[in-house]
Structure 1
Amino acid sequence: MSVSEAGRVLATPTAYTDEARLHEALTLLRREAPVHHVDVPGYTPFWAVTRHADILEIERDHALWLSAPRPVLRTAGLDAALEARRAKGTSLRSIVHMDDPEHRVLRAVGADWFRPKAMRTLETRVRELARRHVDTMAELGGNCDFVRQVAVHYPLYVILSLLGLPESDFPRMLRLTQEMFGQDDSDTGRGGTPQDHTAVLEDFFAYFHDLTARRRARPTGDLASEIANARVDGELLDDNVAASYYVLIATAGHDTTSSTIAGGLEALIRHPAELRRLREDPGLLPSAAEEMIRWVSPVKSFMRTASADTQVNGTPIRKGEAVLLSYPSANRDEEVFDDPFRFDVGRDPNRHLAFGFGVHYCLGAALARMEIRALFAELVPRLAAVELDGEPAWTATTFVGGLKRLPIRYTLA
């Protein structure tokens, strides 16, 4: 594989379905071209940044490196379609898309719901849901697709309960999330055109505009009510900004966690000595959860745009040029992690960047950690035996994703 071929991997959704090929490309880029210009048909050119230190430096300087106007890697056609919606005021504008001071003000709207005090209040419910989903595995009789029958549902129930949505709407939210993040995947995407993607956004907005109106008319004490009735400078949030806030929490708030839980179980299956180690020493659960997060890196990339001429690792970057921050690469960086391709439930230190860094650090990181620990605290002691029952499959994506199928055979005590 050449350096130019390795760079093109980052703009190839199907490359993320082949982890061996993906990491071959990322290792080559870290070694030979850690800041590499990528220019492939269908995409606006960008610089791929693959080393942990460089990504950390960019994340730290949020005044120089902006989320707007291109926070995620998209095709040029989709960029154009979304820009047209932005001009009309109908585009998705969550805190992911914003920079300070707007970002700081909007982030504060939901921040209290994810602070330690709130997490302590939620912990009993999370443990209860974890136990329910391990019980579901027992009811399935020793065979299941762990992704489709367990992993996607557990964090979905947590985050949508926090928002205050009725369980009858959960399947709709799951389908729309998979269509949005899996837009490039033949199993999960609605279709591959910009129009298909914007249609998914329109469905989300229709649902959440209605929710906003209902929570403003009758607040119910949940996170949805907090967002609907939040005020900035004395004014209620614009309906599209409120809807975008819901979309971010309702999608990223569960999809990334379900990917980590599924990928974490797959890692334990492929590394039985680590599963034994965790079973024998439950005190390793916090570090095991961090290792699962590093190992899976469910957010594949974010984009930043230079607000002034600058350089990264000696490579000049002009004002207005975009960089892609590759988190799977940073989390396998040989300069930061001892034996980075070894899954180690006791890894310490573990300076992964899976939640990002700086002002855009993941709002729901504490909740994700709690959910992962709770699920495996219930599952590992009861898991007498487990093995693959077919080939796992990954979602085609360049943004957020992980396993879409994990067939397993198991015995629960």
Structure 2
Amino acid sequence: MSRVRALAMLAAMAVVSGVVAFFNMMPASAAACAPAWQSTAVYTGGMTASRNGHNYLAKWWTQNEAPPGTSGVWQDQGSCGGSTPTNPPVQTGTAGACSFPAWVQGHNYVTGDIVKFTDGKFYIAEHDNPGYSPVISTWYWDPYSCGSSPTTAPPPTSSGGAFVVSEAQFNQMFPGRNSFYTYSGLVAALSAYPAFARTGSDEARKQEAAAFLANVNHETGGLVYIVEQNTANYPAYCDASQSYGCPAGQAAYYGRGPIQLSWNFNYKAAGDALGIDLLHNPNLVQTDAAVAWKTALWYWNTQSGPGTMTPHNAMANGAGFGETIRSINGSLECNGRNPAQVQSRVAAYQRFVGILGVGVGPGSLSC
């Protein structure tokens, strides 16, 4: 299990960003509030909702994430006034209902960005790209039906919104797992980062899920260990130079959960992103399965660690499984530092994609 990521993770701690970068859009006029946000309603890209006196625009599919949220799906459109309808929003299906920006040649786009092309149609970026034409570079762009999806539409997965890994497959991957690491806990955590295993083709989605679970398998000994086993390291994970210190105690921030979250600054950053006070309550990561899984997804989707990209972007953009290793523990394992550890991760990935019935995908397997 990797435990020493202090330098790379401290550098990444300062800013916790969403998987998909914000893009420029015209602010909504300060008119009446949009229909009030409802936890049971499904919102697709281009739909609006209001909450606490602000209008918000959904940039992709979402449900049960209250604006402004933590995943980046909601864009604040500014203050609103007047009456607030309580019925769920319904789009008209016309291009005029959308306010996505015009495509600009040479502009850097990230996965999930939606643009209006010169042909008057809308396209969504399936992979990061430096402003390629949506009608020529079809691997990077997919047509986007702006405003035509009903509020009951499922998220963009072939499985109608379910996780691409079934419970039976999960149990096959981890036959000796600790009962703490429940499949239901993992599924419950997915809403925190809706782009995870829901980006790109069916094959790409399964490859990302397999990559995440393969790294988790390595970090926890097959989902056996909940906490770091070397207790002598526990006091080392308190960086007292942080303004907030270590309120739960000097030895309280040891590795926990699927990716062995460590250090007070990582507990603080993950908790802030998830809306959970993990700085004062780090034990939640070892007592609440959904929280444990969310911290792993937080790292996977928002942190690059010693690498140059998040593990999510590595898989979504075809960089390959090897780059996920680099982002998680590359400073100790990559570039020949510990080939046996790298091979352990690679072997698990190869086994898991086999269970899911897909290939290993593009890019390098190793780092």
Settle same-fold status: TM greater than 0.5: no
Higher percent of residues as strand: 1
User: Which of the pair has the greater relative contact order for Cα pairs under 8 Å at 6+ separation?
Assistant: 1
Higher percent of residues as helix: 1
**Length-normalised TM-score, structure 2:** 0.29
